[in-house]
Structure 1
Amino acid sequence: MFFTEAKRILVVILGSILVAISLNFFLINANVFAIGFAGAAQLVSSILHDQLGFSISTGILLFLFNIPVIILGWFKVGRGFTIYSIISVVFTTIFLEILPVLQLSNDIILNAVFGGVFAGVGIGISLKLGASTGGMDIVAMVLSRLQDKPIGIYFLMMNGVIIVLAGVLYEPENALYTMAALYVTTTVIDMLHTRHEKVTAMIITHKAEELQQAIHQKMVRGITIIPAKGAYSKEEKSMLYLVITRYELYDLEKVITEVDPQAFTNIVQTVGIFGFFRREDEPAERSIT
């Protein structure tokens, strides 16, 4: 357990370094904006400096923006998830303050692409190990527990505002390059960790009852247990079928590894669902199939 948690913390810190490198080495001087709260902090910092002559760093603004969101996550999401968010935000702020703001290239396209790659890798590796980078991750987690509406619309709205302001306050080309950076970031995150709001897990196991109980101790999700038989071995098995949010994927993988390391699991994208999918305000009894 200690080594697992230490690994997650180290990965979160590494992700924070990569996000800071993305901003300080590529995006800030090019006036190309990042994704989510980092982009919002970067934009506000640029506006204050360029329009009002008031200087406050992106790192400090990122920290301030995350305070109310972290408080929300602490009460609505859970302490474990939020603690990793705090670690991520604190270390990102520190690295943004420590690392110099450089201009490695005068080519704005290179800045947009490489800035997007570094940010995508930093966010993606954190999400892959079930950690959070704060900001929109917590907002998305809260929304995923409260309603079944697509979370992507909230990301789109926030990033849309950043793109529009980049085009209005600077050159229209800045908005286009920001769109390119956002595309690269989300594509890299896709490669490392699913960005789909919900996924379906099909688990073939000999330990259906134990696994079902362990999953329900960790999360409240409906599970359908279906009899299965190995085509080659002719062994009688069971298949657990459940739909989860992408933020629960790491916890599910951890439970399966602990209970039945020999289980075969297939994770597929869930484009949409009809019928009941438990929200945070619904009684838990209804969710158990």
Structure 2
Amino acid sequence: MFENKKTVIFETLGLILGCISMSVGINAFLKPHTIAPGGLSGLSVVLNKVTGVNVSVIMLVICVPLILCTIKIMGMKTSMKTLFGTVVFSIILQLTDGLSRMNLANDVLLSALAGGVLVGLALGIMFKADASTGGTDLIALVLSKKFPNLKPTQFMSCLDGLVVISSGIVNHSIETALYSGVALLVIVKIADIVMEGFESSKAYFIISEKPEELRARITADLNRGLTIFNARGGYTNNDKDVFLVVLNQKRQETALKRLVKQVDSTAFLIVTDVHEVLGNGFKEIQ
């Protein structure tokens, strides 16, 4: 019961913080220059330019019917949570609408970057809190039901691309579309950073003719654990041990390479980037 309350509070706070950041990004930096970096918010900015109707009103008019149409697909609980997020976002977007008339940044590129950072930060926060304000993913769900041979992600990519292009059309400037594309790239990158953090981990696969000495040195000198796989050489047909070592500190990466060279200069190393590492010695599994 207590854990459930904590989850609700976490999701609500994440939603509110995300909505504030996204609203400021849209009203202060994107909307004044008709920069529309995909998504339902970007589409609303484009339609606002054409019709003059408030962005928050456009979002409600588009999103509410979509949520009702996708109840069977998403389920009642998820749909109601998304509807709540849409309403909260629309309210905060309306409250911060005055920012769009303050001319905080006249440089279009800086506006695209600043708006992209704030919207990306908002999406990352909401993704981590499992909150949602709806968006083009709802349109993609509806279209994928009509055209089952195509994936929702394909529709989302097409829709985002169309929104970016339409921003240039309504503003009669190809530069606006390019700035919208820049903002979209920034949003995706910032959202990924918020979700995954700045930590970069690497996995090392090591094959050595001196496996026992190397194992002892890695565990003693680096104080790191490792996993040993039994393998067989395809060329020699000899049995070999393959070590897997995962590191998240640059200093230890250099130390590991130096250590391997000292123990066995003929060792074979494969180094690969790791998307995310969870568990003992790394980030806790949430």
Q: Same fold (TM over 0.5)?
A: yes
Q: How does 1:45-124 map to 2 (within 5 A)?
A: 45-48=48-51, 55-99=52-96, 100=98, 101=100, 102-124=102-124
Cα distance change on mapping 1:58 and 1:184 into 2, 3 Å: same
Cα distance change on mapping 1:130 and 1:143 into 2, 3 Å: farther
Identity of aligned residues (%): 26
Report the equivalent of 1:168: 169
Cα distance change on mapping 1:79 and 1:165 into 2, 3 Å: same
Report the equivalent of 1:205: none
Q: Which amino acid aligns with 1:114?
A: A
Segments of structure 2 that go 5 or more residues without pairing to the other structure are 197-225, 229-278
1:155 positional shift: 1.9
Report the equivalent of 2:35: 32
Asked if 1:177 is matched to 2:179, the reply is yes
1:10 positional shift: 1.4
Q: Distance in 1 between matches of 2:61 and 2:142?
A: 19
Q: Distance in 2 between matches of 1:147 and 1:129?
A: 30
The 3-state SS of whatever aligns with 1:71 is helix
Q: Distance in 2 between matches of 1:142 and 1:266?
A: 36
Report the equivalent of 1:9: 12
The root-mean-square deviation of aligned C-alpha atoms, in Å, is 3.2
Cα distance change on mapping 1:10 and 1:168 into 2, 3 Å: same
Asked if 1:128 is matched to 2:128, the reply is yes
Say if 1:35 and 1:185, in contact at 8 Å, map to a contact too: no
Q: How does 1:192-271 map to 2 (within 5 A)?
A: 192-193=194-195
Q: Which amino acid aligns with 1:163?
A: V
Question: TM-score, normalised on structure 1?
Answer: 0.61
Q: Deviations over 1:168-191 (max 9, x none)?
A: 232111011011011111112222
Q: Distance in 1 between matches of 2:77 and 2:283?
A: 25
Say if 1:69 and 1:135, in contact at 8 Å, map to a contact too: no
Say if 1:77 and 1:142, in contact at 8 Å, map to a contact too: no
1:130 positional shift: 2.0
Cα distance change on mapping 1:58 and 1:130 into 2, 3 Å: same
Report the equivalent of 1:198: none
Q: Which amino acid aligns with 1:7?
A: F
1:117 positional shift: 0.9
1:165 positional shift: 1.8
The 3-state SS of whatever aligns with 2:134 is coil
1:7 positional shift: 1.2
1:84 positional shift: 2.4
Q: Distance in 2 between matches of 1:23 and 1:60?
A: 14
1:18 positional shift: 1.2
Q: Distance in 1 between matches of 2:50 and 2:193?
A: 33
Report the equivalent of 1:21: 24
- What number of residue pairs does the alignment pair up? 199
1:193 positional shift: 3.7
1:154 positional shift: 1.6
Q: Deviations over 1:195-229 (max 9, x none)?
A: xxxxxxxxxxxxxxxxxxxxxxxxxxxxxxxxxxx
1:111 positional shift: 0.5
1:14 positional shift: 1.2
Report the equivalent of 2:255: none
The 3-state SS of whatever aligns with 2:21 is helix
1:31 positional shift: 1.7
Q: Distance in 2 between matches of 1:78 and 1:151?
A: 17
Structure 1 window deviating more from structure 2 (143-152 vs 80-89): it is 143-152
Q: Which amino acid aligns with 1:127?
A: F
Larger Rg: 2
The 3-state SS of whatever aligns with 1:40 is helix
Cα distance change on mapping 1:142 and 1:190 into 2, 3 Å: farther
The 3-state SS of whatever aligns with 1:115 is helix
The 3-state SS of whatever aligns with 1:168 is helix
1:73 positional shift: 3.1
